[in-house]
Structure 1
Amino acid sequence: MTKGNLAIVLHAHLPYVRSEEPGSLEEDWFFQALVECYLPLLETLEEASTAKDQTPKITIGLSPTLLSLLEDQVLKNRFEEWVSIRLELLNKLETNCTAAALDLKGHLKRQLKSWKSCKGDLIGRFKKLQTLEIIDILTCAATHGYLPLLRENPEAVRAQLKTAVREHQRLFTNAPLGIWLPECAYYEGLDDLMSESGLRYAVLDGHGLLNADPRPRYGLYAPICTRRGVAFFGRDSESTLPVWSARDGYPGNPNYREFHRDLGWDLSIENLKKIGIKEKRPLGIKLFKISSQNTSLEDKQEYDPQAAKESVEKDAESYLKDRKKQLIKLEKSMKIEPLLIAPFDAELFGHWWFEGPKFLSHLFIKAKREGVKLITLKDALQLTPQIQLCNPSPSSWGQGGFHNYWLDKSNAWIVHEWSKAGREMVSICSGGLIEESNIKIIKQAGRELLLSQSSDWSFILKAETTTELARERINLHLKRFWILINAIKDNKNITEKIIDEIEKEDCIFPLISPIDWKKKI
């Protein structure tokens, strides 16, 4: 066995896209993530956990907003019909007899069976894997707020962290020790609030460690620790780029399934309306392969499941061989065992890269054979006898490595709105204005403030994808926040019906606490 370890870290997250309307775009986001990523990922981990010759070990962050969707009974009740509509559509296609269509039908049926077998309790399955020490579950900020842009009101950052910890403990019994910081974003002093919330480790982008003070003696290949007792791991680009890059990495293999060619774009609007979809958008039915990077979407060739299966096995073996070479080289210059940190968005595995879960499966099968030890972040800390004291550098894993993707001319206006609303929330929670009759109102105001702070909407505005939806979400949550806050400030009566309607739509964080926004004396 090579001396050294590989930690694969997955960040599983969706913004709060709960919708009361069946067939909505938001519902599609969630259900596609279920059938393409989260159910296949659980299947991969569970199968590996019972195999004698496999060594499955990963760290996975489950964001509180994703967990709220997984727990939501309204969404659960609609999932089976959503899958059935797609199966029916595949049955009607002229291409029904093709290998691609048959393979997709088999995939959907398998995920539906997996869903039914646990009655939709995916959280329970993740919890069992953690009990078996197959996975180490991290939390995230409550609504994936971009914490460096909320720092004007430290209490707003504290509320993001403490709400997340409280929600994680409610669902998994034990409080989390690790956190996936949204966008791996860090600013000076954040470790104080992390420590106060009981959080002890997180992953940063590489330059968050390489520019630390003092510079870590082992660079990215060992954790560092602040004086507040919070450890940080650094992303290793050599370990991530081959998987992350759609152009230069494994996901760009011509045999793999093409993400952008979807039946939802190919069907006429009339046919889409027949299945209850009002506009053209992806359905999660993809029957073509990448073919080549330069092939136009309309000229893509049909997906060949067998060719993809052979390619993914070779790519997994190639990845492990390269990690082994990397560890052997590092071992010669280090007095401790080197550690490679490979963090990814979980949806890369299955959603963006359909073959991703199979890639992980082959890693679990081949890791021991190739002499590469897989490890969780929690285990890595326990194996590190001494950790160097360092102050991490402000950083993120976004474009440019700092905060500019979330502080762009397209989205910078939101920061002022967050600050203004945050100050008001802190003022009310700190000033003794919360009467017993107002507790329900202030709790819902806290939910709306947290939901408005999701970094996903800022990202969408910058990326110029579903920008109308992003603006609607931000403005809706801020509007609701001010309706509730002004009712308290101006001592205006607000009907129970209005509060109940807002609470019904944004029914998240049942244990939310206004104390989190209280200013410390």
Structure 2
Amino acid sequence: PPVGPHRQQRRALRRGTEEFLAECGLEFFFADSQTVVGGRPLPPYDDYFPQLAALREAGRVEWPIRPGTSPYAIYRVSSRGGRGEATMFIRDPESALQVWSRENGYPGDPWYLEFHKKHLPGGLTLWRVSEDKSDLGAKAVYVPEQAQERAREHARHFAATVAGVLRRHQAQGGAPGVVCALYDAELLGHWWYEGPQWLSFLYPELARQQVETVTCSAYLDHHPAVKTLTLPEGSWGEGSDHRTWLNDDTAWTWERLYDSEVEFWTLVHDNPQAAQGLVGRVLCQAARELLLMQASDWQFLITSWAARDYAEQRFIAHYADFKRLLEVVQHVRTRGELEQDDWIYLASKEQQDFLFPTVERALFA
């Protein structure tokens, strides 16, 4: 593990993402452009979570340029010595900036609805972003008709941008390209209220620009990948590495996670016949708590300060439940049965955290 007293003492060869995807019958996935073609990472969330900017210089600033690659082509990904492969679509940095960025993109337009200012009581949003983007007291009244017109103009601009990107790509490489535009669904209508309107205006504009809209699977049917790459380890987070999730503020979570994994699998291996018994039932619930602990949202929320207290409390709660369930396993092994308090506790956890109903098959297959 990269943290704790056993740091870098236990080493293992990790399988590539494409191997897991192939094992599950999934044909393709998505990656940020800098992990493939190189260059400076595009900060995806800085405009929404300014605290992430503090991580920018904490690691790699730029990724090495990889000649002969393009964000408008697709590639087959395979790891040396690995089993299985998958096709990679690459997020287009040019169109991504137009939609993601509040500072440089469409959502920050002065005529759009201001997300952060609400009328109380009731929570109605009555103001627009306005020219002064920092002072909530200076926000002007929202005008829906004007916002709708701006969404229409931005749809025209986006369609023209995509068409221009594809023309340049084909002029340089001779082959038709694909622009992969990836956005969280919550951006359209939540952070950017007019996002769904923009989307409805966009499709006719793309048709006018002679840009074909297509799903990834349909594109693969007609344009299979011809080149194979190995993909370096990376992420969609700040710096395109793991600093968003692993840093001084979150190291304590990882110490508990790594120790919990070792403790859990030791118990599973020590109880190979547990599938049909009470020990197996408790271990299954412990597995659910461990999986909930491993949700990457906790570290993201801690680092971004978006809901830090909530994330820390949730992580600690799942950790405490996990530890108690392991104690319950030991009670069953030594006494052969559960006391009344343990029965009540186990039933309450099974009712509250009931996800992954087939976890038993994964543990005892």
TM-score (structure 1 length as normaliser): 0.57
1:224 aligns with 2:75: yes
Q: Residues 192, 241 of structure 1: CA spacing in aligned structure 2 closer, same or farther, 3 A cutoff?
A: same
- Tell me which residue corresponds to 1:254: 110
Ranges in structure 1 where 5+ consecutive residues have no aligned partner:
1-151, 156-186, 268-282
1:509 aligns with 2:349: no
- Tell me which residue corresponds to 1:135: none
- Tell me which residue corresponds to 1:456: 297
- Tell me which residue corresponds to 2:97: 241
SS of aligned partner of 2:126: coil
Contact 1:429 1:515 in 2 (8 A): no
- Tell me which residue corresponds to 1:198: 25
Hey, what's the Cα distance between the residues in 2 that align with 1:517 and 1:424? Answer: 17
1:485 aligns with 2:326: yes
Query: Structure 1 stretches (4+) deviating beyond 6 angstroms?
Result: 152-155
Contact 1:429 1:514 in 2 (8 A): no
- Tell me which residue corresponds to 1:419: 258
Question: Where does 1:273-352 land on structure 2 (aligned, <5 Å)?
Answer: 285-294=124-133, 296-352=135-191
Higher helix share: 1
Q: Residues 340, 443 of structure 1: CA spacing in aligned structure 2 closer, same or farther, 3 A cutoff?
A: same
Q: Which of 229, 240, 246 is residue 407 of structure 1 equivalent to? A: 246
Query: Which structure's relative contact order is higher, taking Cα pairs within 8 Å and 6+ residues apart?
Result: 1
1:371 aligns with 2:216: no
AA aligned opposite 1:512: V
Q: Which of 262, 274, 292 is residue 434 of structure 1 equivalent to? A: 274
Ranges in structure 2 where 5+ consecutive residues have no aligned partner:
1-9, 39-62, 79-83
Identity of aligned residues (%): 28
Hey, what's the Cα distance between the residues in 1 that align with 2:352 and 2:234? Answer: 35
- Tell me which residue corresponds to 2:16: 189
SS of aligned partner of 1:210: coil
SS of aligned partner of 1:408: coil
Question: Where does 1:10-49 land on structure 2 (aligned, <5 Å)?
Answer: none
- Tell me which residue corresponds to 1:465: 306
Give the superposition deviation at 1:295. Answer: 5.0
Higher strand share: 1
Hey, what's the Cα distance between the residues in 1 that align with 2:248 and 2:144? Answer: 44
Q: Residues 255, 213 of structure 1: CA spacing in aligned structure 2 closer, same or farther, 3 A cutoff?
A: closer
Hey, what's the Cα distance between the residues in 2 that align with 1:418 and 1:293? Answer: 44
AA aligned opposite 2:74: P
Hey, what's the Cα distance between the residues in 2 that align with 1:362 and 1:430? Answer: 57
Contact 2:245 2:299 in 1 (8 A): yes
Hey, what's the Cα distance between the residues in 2 that align with 1:480 and 1:235? Answer: 39
Hey, what's the Cα distance between the residues in 2 that align with 1:496 and 1:293? Answer: 59
Give the superposition deviation at 1:488. Answer: 1.5
Q: How many residues are treated as equivalent by the alignment?
A: 319
Write the deviation string for residues 406-453 of structure 1: whole angstroms up to 9, x where unpaired.
111111211111111112222233341524223322221111111111
Hey, what's the Cα distance between the residues in 1 that align with 2:11 and 2:289? Answer: 16
Give the superposition deviation at 1:383. Answer: 2.1
TM-score (structure 2 length as normaliser): 0.80
